[in-house]
Amino acid sequence: MDNINNIGSNNLIKLKLNNIKKTEEPQQTQKEAPKSESGLINQFLENQSRINKPTVNNVQKVTDKGSAPANYHNNMRQMFQNNEVIMLGIVPRTFTAKDLNGDEMIRKADGEKCGTFLSAIDRLDEIKAQGFNALHILPIHPTGKINAMGTAGSLYAPEKFVTDDGKHLAIDPNLIDKDDPRSPDDQFRAFINECHKRDIKVMLDLPSCASVDMYNNHPELMAIGRNNEAKVPEGWTDIRMFNPWEDESKRTLNKALIDMHKNYVDACIDLGIDGIRSDVARAKPTEFWDIIIPYSHQKDPQFAWLGESYTYECASPQQNMPYDRPEDSLRAGFDSIYGQYHIFHEMKNAKEVKDYVLENLDMSHRLPVGKSLIGSFTTHDDESLMMRGGENFCKMVSVVQATLPMCNPYYLDGIQSGDKYDYQYGNKVVKDADTDNGKHFMTVHKNKMDIFNYSRQPGGDAPEIGQVMTSTFNMRKDVNELMRKGSFIELNKRKDKDDQVLTFARHLNGQTALVIVNLNKNRRSAAEIDVPGIKEEQSMKNLVKNYGEKSFIQVENNKVKVDLGPARAHVYLIDTPNIETERKGHVFVQNFTKDIDPKNPQYEEVKGEHLSLKK
């Protein structure tokens, strides 16, 4: 390829080289925090602090944090419907854990501390600066002790969900600062309030099963097999399944379980929580969610629901677990589901990726408006993205999930800096444990975030991942609604025999973004892409931070030639106002306007400059 552009630096320059325009990324600048003009003022304040120190109560300092924000209103459901959520999953007990000796374990006897709600406040400015606007709080309940996994117990094996009177969430005492006089509710509420002050939404994880302890204490809630045995999801020993039915043959529901979940919703809304992530949503039938989700909306119409639901199943992969029916879950009231992006690394070529995108866009037209997915490329159930392709693959995924339609970006704490979740204590035996497993065995699932033990704060040694990630979040802001509501346009390409170049356009109100991705993590990939309306002399504005091995881009009339570095992803703002018309029949949009009759899925809808055609 002759005279191709080198898109590998960090400045925005326009220059002619061999009569071809060259586009590079704008230089990223950072603002320093303002400093006081007067050292005398600082000295005076420090002296006053020393003078008053004996009269200042440490508790009063702590309780200054957590006051209710002024004029806060939950709009998380609307954010999911508009693909505005940018979510970080966190485990409170590790989020701000203090590992003093570097062995990755938290030993309370040695003065080390796991995270608390109040200490978590200290990281909120960092999270906000990275660009997140929502937190997925993994379960916060006291864990069961019998058959427990790890030295702390699995987050998904709760001893109880609500207090005995049903009025409050049952909260793990390890998450409470014992030096603060506030109640568990008030400490959790203080954290939530501080999130809301920063316009960060809070979604709490609702476990799908109970611990063995809870099974023993609440038989009225639990599922029993034909031989009077406890129903256990295949592959697990520390949890027991709930029984949603009073009489399954008559499709009548278990009132005790319904009431417990209503109490759970009430307690969440009372605390100011903005939504619930339902673990293994299929563990309850749609009739169950048809009651619980509308109940929450009676209390808070904007209370959001995220369902852990993946793909339509012809056969259940787990014993005692119902089939997965994501469409049914969305129809029952869930605002968003997980989808299949957790197997993105297994998709062999660009066609498989695009087919899945189109499958979801097509599904949206059989559902109420604004149903969406999260970018479930890595969750606590999955191996670290670092193990699936390394640092540049993590960066590429950041770009991909920021540009896909119908997708709310999702990250797991630690991925921002490349945590491999490779714990040196994994599966070792230790002296101390809070569980009754009899072995003090530090269970870990290799290269997955530890949800079983008191462990270190997540984090790796590749901070540039977070820089690329944040640049993609900034891009979504800069192009306004383009990435959230724009059409998805298939583009023709040639000279890519292995189909490793994923390319598409997003278009809205005359604005076009061109997305070009090398899915190959190990080798360069080249292609010629047809881009109707693009001109040789026009500039292309680079929207995300460059990384990795340099790519080369050459613009010609109606065509772009690319030679991409391994795992490189690029997004350019281009001037092609008529591209939807030029690509008629290959333009697809998410349903933001009206429900389509599910009995007649063929559709042709024109709205403004949007054209949506099913091929």
Comparing 44-53, 323-332, 487-496, 518-527, the range with the smallest average pLDDT is 44-53
Is 336 within 8 Å of 80 (Cβ atoms)? Answer: yes
Residue 424 has pLDDT above 60, yes or no: yes
Closest C-alpha among 550, 508, 558, 488 to residue 529: 558
CATH code assigned to 5-24+482-613: 2.60.40.1180
Paired strand residues for 373: 337, 407
Long-range contacts of range 177-181, CB-CB < 8 Å, 24 or more positions apart?
A: 177/62, 177/116, 177/117, 177/118, 177/119, 179/58, 179/59, 179/62, 180/59, 180/62, 180/63, 180/118, 181/59, 181/63
3-class state of residue 522 by DSSP = coil
| Helical residues (DSSP H) of 218-372, grouped into ranges | 255-271, 286-299, 326-331, 350-364
pLDDT band at 598 (very low <50, low <70, confident <90, very high): very low
What letter would DSSP give residue 456?
P
For strand 239-241 and strand 245-247, is the pairing parallel, antiparallel, or unpaired? unpaired
Give the global pTM.
Answer: 0.86
The total of other beta-carbon atoms located within 10 Å of residue 166's CB is 14
Report the pLDDT value the prediction gives residue 315, as an integer from 0 to 100. 54
CA angle 87, 170, 79 (to 5 degrees): 25
Residue 38 has pLDDT above 80, yes or no: no
Q: What share of the chain is helix, strand, coil (3-state, %, to 5)?
A: 30, 20, 50
End-to-end CA distance of the chain: 34
- Cα separation, 379 vs 336, in Å, equals 15
Q: Where are the domains of the chain?
A: 5-24+482-613, 83-207+251-339+422-457
- Spatial CB neighbours of 345, under 8 Å, sequence gap ≥ 6: 385, 388, 389, 393
What letter would DSSP give residue 224?
B
**In three state form, how does the secondary structure of 345-388 look?**
HHCCCHHHHHHHHHHHHHHHCCCCCCCEEECCCCCCCCCCHHHH
Q: List C-alpha distances in Å: 364 to 331, 455, 588.
A: 10, 40, 11
Of residues 106 and 435, more confidence is placed in 106
Report the pLDDT value the prediction gives residue 439, as an integer from 0 to 100. 61
Report the pLDDT value the prediction gives residue 317, as an integer from 0 to 100. 58
DSSP of 90-157: E-HHHHT-B-SSSSSB--GGGT-B---HHHHGGGHHHHHHHT--EEEE---SPBP-TT-STTT--TTS
pLDDT band at 438 (very low <50, low <70, confident <90, very high): low
Report the pLDDT value the prediction gives residue 432, as an integer from 0 to 100. 73
- Spatial CB neighbours of 152, under 8 Å, sequence gap ≥ 6: 93, 143, 174, 433, 434, 435, 452, 453, 454
Percent of the chain whose predicted confidence (pLDDT) is above 70:
84
Residue 604 has pLDDT above 80, yes or no: no
Residue 599 has pLDDT above 80, yes or no: no
Q: Tell me what the mean pLDDT of segment 248-276 comes to.
A: 97
**Model pLDDT for residues 301-316, shown as the tens digit of each residue:** 999 999 999 987 655 5
pLDDT band at 578 (very low <50, low <70, confident <90, very high): very high
Report the pLDDT value the prediction gives residue 20, as an integer from 0 to 100. 35
> Is the C-alpha dihedral spanning 38, 41, 44, 45 positive or negative?
negative
- Cα separation, 325 vs 225, in Å, equals 23
**Model pLDDT for residues 488-498, shown as the tens digit of each residue:** 999 999 999 99
Report the pLDDT value the prediction gives residue 316, as an integer from 0 to 100. 55
Report the pLDDT value the prediction gives residue 15, as an integer from 0 to 100. 33
**Model pLDDT for residues 513-544, shown as the tens digit of each residue:** 999 999 999 999 999 999 999 999 998 999 99
Q: List C-alpha distances in Å: 371 to 187, 315, 331, 374, 584.
A: 33, 25, 9, 11, 25
pLDDT band at 212 (very low <50, low <70, confident <90, very high): very high
Of residues 65 and 129, more confidence is placed in 129
**Model pLDDT for residues 80-117, shown as the tens digit of each residue:** 999 999 999 999 999 999 999 999 999 988 899 999 99
What letter would DSSP give residue 441?
B
**Model pLDDT for residues 445-490, shown as the tens digit of each residue:** 999 999 999 999 999 999 999 999 999 999 999 998 999 999 999 9
Residue 336 has pLDDT above 50, yes or no: yes
pLDDT band at 374 (very low <50, low <70, confident <90, very high): very high
Q: Report the chain's mean pLDDT, rounded to a whole number.
A: 87
Residue 8 has pLDDT above 50, yes or no: no
Identify the architecture of domain 83-207+251-339+422-457 in CATH. Answer: Alpha-Beta Barrel (3.20)
Report the pLDDT value the prediction gives residue 361, as an integer from 0 to 100. 96
